[in-house]
Amino acid sequence: MLLGDRVRWSRVEVASTEGLAPAILVAVLREARTTLLGRGDPDAALHLVRERLEGRERDGRPTTAGWMSLPRGASTVGGGDDVPGPVDALLGRLGLERFSTWDWMVTADEPPAVEAEDAVVRLDPVVDADAIRACLAEANPGTTADPTGPQEAAWCGVRDGDVLVGVMGASLRGGSDEGGLSWHLHGLGVRPRARGRDLGAALTAAVTRAGLSAGAEWVSLGLYADNERARGIYRRLGYATEGEFVSFGPAGARRPPT
C-alpha cells in the first residue's frame, strides 16, 4: 500500500517505532492539509501519532490534520461507536472526528472469467467523460473518482443502447521498485435498473485484467468494512484483505479526500 501510494506524495515525514511492535506513520504534507497514514500494530501506530502531536505542541506548531487513517484494533478505537478508545482523546487536538472503517484489498492474479464480462467495453476517459459522470451521479454519487482526474489509468463500462449503465475506473499507482506500477480501482457504479446482472463483478474483473495486462504488479481497491456483498464479489475474483483501517476526517466531512 505504501509503495503504491508513494508516487502521489511530494513532501512527507516518516516515523517508525523503536522498542515497540512494528509500525510506521507517514505524514503527507500538502498546502491545504496534512494526511496521516499509519500501518502495522494498531497501538504502536497510535503511539506514533501521540508522539508527533506532543512534539508539535512542544514546538508551538499547528497540530490539526486534514485526515487520518490508522490500523483497526480494539484498544485503538474502543469497543464500538459509543465506546471511546485511546484515539478519541486525541481527536480534538487533531481537529478530527470518526468517519469510517474500511479495508484495503489486493490481487496479483488474473481473475476468473465472469459471464457478463462480454458486455464490458473500454471507454475513452475524455470523450466519454460526461457519460461516465452521469452514470456515477446516479449509481455512486459519493465517489470522488473522475475520468479526467490526474493519473487515471483506464475506464470501462457497460452500455444499454446509448446509455452507460455501469462504469469502473482505475488510477495509476507505484510498484515495488522505482518505475514500477500498480493500479487502484475506483468509481464502480451500476445504475439501479441494471443491477442483479453481475455487472459489478464483470466490471471489476475486466479492469483488473486490463491492469495486469498493462504490467501492473498488483491491483488494489478499497471498500467500506460493512459492505459484505461487495467483499464477497471481490474475494470471488481473487482479492484478499491486506489492511483494515479506521479513518478520521474534519467535522462534517461527507466523503474521503481525493
CA distances from 239 to 15, 152, 183, 222 (A): 29, 21, 13, 11
- Convert the pLDDT of each residue in 50-96 to its tens digit: 999 999 999 999 999 999 999 998 555 544 554 456 788 899 999 99
247 domain-assigned: no
Same domain, 63 and 141: no
Same domain, 129 and 179: yes
**Which pLDDT value is given to residue 3?**
93
- pTM, full prediction: 0.92
- The pLDDT > 70 percentage for the chain reads 95
Cβ neighbours of residue 177 under 8 Å, at least 6 residues apart?
none
Q: How does residue 256 score in pLDDT terms, banded at 50, 70 and 90?
A: confident
Q: How does residue 255 score in pLDDT terms, banded at 50, 70 and 90?
A: confident
Same domain, 76 and 153: no
Same domain, 152 and 61: no
Same domain, 94 and 144: no
Same domain, 222 and 144: yes
11: which DSSP letter?
S
Same domain, 9 and 97: yes
Same domain, 137 and 210: yes
Mean pLDDT of the residues in the chain: 92
Mean pLDDT of 125-134: 98
**Which pLDDT value is given to residue 111?**
98
- Convert the pLDDT of each residue in 89-127 to its tens digit: 899 999 999 999 999 999 999 999 999 999 999 999 999
- Residue 28 belongs to domain spanning: 2-103
What is the total count of domains within the chain? Answer: 2
81: which DSSP letter?
T
CA distance 201 to 187: 13
State how far Cα 210 lies from the chain centre: 19
83 domain-assigned: yes
**Which pLDDT value is given to residue 79?**
44
Domain boundary among 47, 82, 103: 103
Domain boundary among 68, 87, 103: 103
Same domain, 17 and 122: no
257 domain-assigned: no
**Which pLDDT value is given to residue 77?**
53
Cβ neighbours of residue 229 under 8 Å, at least 6 residues apart?
none
252 domain-assigned: no
Same domain, 147 and 168: yes
Report the phi/psi class of residue 198: left, alpha or beta, with left for phi > 0 and alpha for psi in -120 to 50: left
- Convert the pLDDT of each residue in 175-210 to its tens digit: 999 889 999 999 999 999 999 999 999 999 999 999
66 domain-assigned: yes
Same domain, 192 and 149: yes
Same domain, 156 and 75: no
**Which pLDDT value is given to residue 258?**
64
Q: How does residue 247 score in pLDDT terms, banded at 50, 70 and 90?
A: very high
